[in-house]
Structure 1
Amino acid sequence: MEAQQILPRFCPKSSLAPSVTIVKQSFSLMCPPLPSSSSYASVQSGAFRAISIARKEVCSSSWRRVCCSSSSGAEPKEGHEVRAQVTVRRKKLAVFVSGGGSNFKSIHEASKRGSLHGDVLVLVTNKSECGGAEYARNNGIPVILFPKAKDESNGLSPSDVVDTLRKFEVDFILLAGYLKLIPAELIRAYEKSILNIHPSLLPAFGGMGYYGMKVHKAVIASGARFSGPTIHFVDEHYDTGRILAQRVVPVLANDTAEELAARVLNEEHQLYVEVVEAVCEERVVWRKDGVPLIQTKENPNEFR
Structure 2
Amino acid sequence: MDSRCFISDFRSNSVFSPPVPKALNKPFLALPCCWSARAHRWLYFEDAQFSASPRTRKSRFLPNLECINIRASRESIKNSAEEKKKKKPGVAKKKLAVFVSGGGSNFKSIHEACVEGSVHGEIVALVTNKTDCGGAEYARNKDIPVLQFPRTKDGADGLSPTSLIRNFEVEFVLLAGFLKLIPVELIRAYPRAILNIHPSLLPAFGGKGYYGMKVHKAVISSGARYSGPTIHFVDEHYDTGRILAQMVVPVLSTDSPEDLAARVLKEEHKLYKEVVAALCEERIVWREDGVPLIQSRQDPNHFC
Using the size of structure 1 for normalisation, the TM-score is 0.70
Shift of 1:145: 0.3
How far apart are the structure 2 equivalents of 1:107 and 1:133? 14
Give matches, 1:66-77, under 5 Å.
Answer: none
Which protein, 1 or 2, shows the higher relative CO under an 8 Å CA cutoff with sep ≥ 6?
1
Shift of 1:166: 3.0
**Cα pair 1:175 1:196 within 8 Å, conserved:** yes
Aligned counterpart, 1:132: 135
Aligned counterpart, 2:175: 175
**Cα pair 1:92 1:118 within 8 Å, conserved:** yes
What's the secondary structure of 1:161's corresponding residue?
A: coil
How far apart are the structure 2 equivalents of 1:219 and 1:254? 13
Count matched residues.
219
How far apart are the structure 1 equivalents of 2:161 and 2:129? 12
2:108 maps to 1:105? yes
What's the secondary structure of 2:297's corresponding residue?
A: coil
How far apart are the structure 1 equivalents of 2:127 and 2:87? 37
Change (3 A) 1:166 1:84: closer
Aligned counterpart, 1:286: 286
- Greater helix content: 2
Change (3 A) 1:251 1:84: closer
What's the secondary structure of 1:132's corresponding residue?
A: helix
Q: Structure 1 counterpart of 2:233, which letter?
A: F
Aligned counterpart, 1:34: none
Change (3 A) 1:84 1:125: closer
How far apart are the structure 1 equivalents of 2:292 and 2:135? 29
Give matches, 1:39-50, under 5 Å.
Answer: none
2:145 maps to 1:142? yes
Q: Structure 1 counterpart of 2:189, which letter?
A: A
How far apart are the structure 2 equivalents of 1:148 and 1:204? 32
Unaligned stretches of 5+ residues in structure 1: 1-82
Aligned counterpart, 1:208: 208
Larger Rg: 2
What's the secondary structure of 1:105's corresponding residue?
A: helix
**Cα pair 1:91 1:171 within 8 Å, conserved:** yes
The CA RMSD over aligned residues, in Å, is: 1.6
Aligned counterpart, 2:265: 265
Shift of 1:156: 2.9
Shift of 1:155: 5.3
1:156 to 128, 138, 158: 158
Aligned counterpart, 1:91: 94
Q: Structure 1 counterpart of 2:179, which letter?
A: L
Shift of 1:173: 0.2
**Cα pair 2:88 2:281 within 8 Å, conserved:** no
1:182-218 residue CA offsets vs partner (Å, 9 max, x unmatched):
0000000000000000000000000000000000000
**Cα pair 1:145 1:154 within 8 Å, conserved:** no
How far apart are the structure 1 equivalents of 2:155 and 2:231? 33
Using the size of structure 2 for normalisation, the TM-score is 0.70
How far apart are the structure 1 equivalents of 2:87 and 2:270? 27
Aligned counterpart, 2:245: 245
How far apart are the structure 2 equivalents of 1:182 and 1:204? 21
Shift of 1:125: 0.2
How far apart are the structure 2 equivalents of 1:243 and 1:234? 9
Change (3 A) 1:235 1:221: same
How far apart are the structure 2 equivalents of 1:153 and 1:123? 16
**Cα pair 1:229 1:248 within 8 Å, conserved:** yes
The percentage of counterpart residues that share the same residue type is 70
